Chains A and B, each alone.
Chain A
Amino acid sequence: MTLSKATELPIGAVVTEPGSTRRNITAGWRALRPVIHDDRCVRCQLCWLYCPEGTIVELKGIFKVGNRTYDTKYEINYDYCKGCGICANECPTKAIEMVPET
């Protein structure tokens, strides 16, 4: 990738459009990734609540896990998850496992 030259950049380092940070994927420095074991998840929502980056995604629908049916499911947005492990720490059923990034 070629970066812009000094003369091509907006004067005074102005970011000229809103929402440009959405293009910045901020998970580059993650060492451990959280993996949710859905069979152990009781839908308590604590991981969703505690995540400092808001990267736990709550999905609505009908989800059959074993012989149970839930109307929500939790997934992780790995574009922004920094791997801090707070979710795994807070999970009361140890349904979130921190797995080394490869």
Chain B
Amino acid sequence: MQVQKTKHIEALTTNYAVAYAVKAADVDVIAVYPITPQTTIVEKISEFVANGELNAELIHVESEHSALSAVVGAAATGARVFTATSSQGLELMHEVLHIAAGMRLPIVMAVPSRTLSAPISIHGDYSDLMNARDTGWVIYIAASAQEAYDTVIQAFRLAESVSLPVMVSYDGFLMSHTVEPVELNDEEEVRKFLPRAVRPYTLNPKRPVTMGPLASPDWYYEFKYQQVLALKEAYKVAKEVDSEYGRRFGRSYGVVETYRMEDADYAIVAYGGASYGNARAAADLARKRGIAAGVVRVRLYRPFPTADVLKALDGVKAFAVVDRAIMFGSPAEGPLYKDIATAMYMHGIDKPALGVIHGIGQRTMYVEDMYKIYTMLRENPRKEVVFLGVRV
């Protein structure tokens, strides 16, 4: 007879759930710098360290640029590291994002996404994350506190397997500061899932190496191509890590999550908690009103899960992509829309696809808005970008 273990469930904000995941992962070095809406992650971690619940070196830094630099240095010694940021902080880290990826350091960073200045807004959308999209980091976008907890643990495993830094993002405020029940894993089990990998090269006075050297034109391109290969590899490894996590802890998400897609004619593709939740409620509503509606959520954003997204959208007549970020001046202003359009074009698929920009600066997204997208898809399937919820 299998022994049923008692589930350990806590009421946590997504930020706190991330802090618990960091504790479970037995992280060695954490750089802390506050920025809204990330602050409560590092506050909670500071509490864990102060109470002796987590044996880690906590570095108080003077900016986000220093925060990422500090964990770059710590990761170079072979330590397991973590930091977190949002919005302007992620922008301030930008040059170090490239360095972390180029040095192939397994850093894990949480990014509760927030909009960018100007005008100043502390509210949520994915403007910050989308600016960090092309830096060579693996990027996850979680849709629940539970998923954020699970994804941070998976992220350490993935980062250390493929030697790439990983961001775990989710909705600023709408998730970062709202409470959900979160099932916490047994910490011993998490540590078994995350064995300390021996890295081939670390900063060690007994075996000196040089990291981050200069590369002339006859070398640089090769190292960048290594990163291309590593991200291709990460697509495969992310799936393996997710299914192994599912076997051990009973929860897995895949790289793309679908809702009522089996027989859907019309689909909304989205990322993040609010977009996905509203789209699911709208799909239920649409089904009641006679539209075969479904939802596809992109969980792994970089490397882009092209094959899985195309498979999920295989049977639909038309679909819409809801983006919570704007690519100014782009042929299509939605970043995820652009990715999917590129994937479709490269695979010779031609289908009506509506780009939808919504939830900018945490503009409220209503279920009715999402329902309206389904009616637009049915009544007038077209290739166009619409700005929903803006006063024009």
Binding site for B on A (CB under 8 A): 3-7, 9-18, 20
Contacts and interface: CB of A to CB of B under 8 A. Distances in A.
27 contacts: A3-B218, A3-B219, A5-B222, A6-B223, A6-B225, A7-B226, A9-B223, A11-B163, A12-B102, A12-B103, A12-B163, A12-B201, A12-B211, A12-B223, A12-B226, A13-B102, A13-B211, A13-B213, A14-B210, A15-B209, A15-B211, A16-B201, A16-B209, A17-B208, A17-B209, A18-B209, A20-B210
B201 to A, nearest CB: 5
A25 B155 CA distance: 43
Contacts of A4: 222
The 8 closest A-B pairs by CB, nearest first: A12-B104, A15-B210, A6-B222, A18-B208, A6-B225, A14-B201, A12-B103, A13-B223
* Most chain B CB inside 10 Å of its own CB: which residue of A4, A6, A7: A6
A70 to B, nearest CB: 39
Contact of A12 (B105, B208, B218, B219): B105
Contacts of B103: 12-13
Interface residues of B, number: 23
B343 to A, nearest CB: 25
Contacts of A12: 102-105, 163, 201, 211, 223, 226
Given A12-B163, A15-B209, A16-B201, A6 B229 contact: yes
Interface string B222-233: 110110011000
Nearest to A20: B210
B215 interface: yes
A47 B218 CA distance: 35
A20 B210 CA distance: 10
Interface in B193-249: 200-201, 208-213, 215, 218-219, 221-223, 225-226, 229-230
B208 A13 contact: no
Contacts of A16: 201, 209
Taking chain A's interface residues, is the majority helix, strand, or loop, or is none over half, making it mixed?
A: loop
Nearest to B220: A13
Interface string B173-205: 000000000000000000000000000110000
Given A3-B218, A6-B229, A14 B223 contact: no
A10 B201 CA distance: 9
Contacts of A7: 226, 229
Contacts of B225: 6
Nearest to B225: A6
A13 B218 contact: no
A10 B163 CA distance: 12
Given A3-B219, A16-B201, A11 B209 contact: no
Given A3-B219, A16-B201, A11 B226 contact: yes
Given A6-B226, A7-B229, A18-B208, A13 B105 contact: no
Contacts of B209: 14-18
Nearest to B224: A6
Nearest to A19: B208
A9 B359 CA distance: 44
A11 B211 CA distance: 10
Contacts of B102: 12-13
Given A13-B213, A14-B201, 12 more contacts: A3-B218, A4-B222, A5-B222, A7-B226, A9-B219, A10-B200, A11-B200, A12-B105, A12-B223, A14-B209, A17-B209, A18-B208
Contacts of B163: 11-12
B273 to A, nearest CB: 34
B213 A15 contact: yes
Nearest to B226: A6
Nearest to B163: A11
A12 B222 CA distance: 10
Nearest to A17: B209
A7 B225 CA distance: 9
A3 B210 CA distance: 20
A67 B103 CA distance: 61
Interface string B314-343: 000000000000000000000000000000
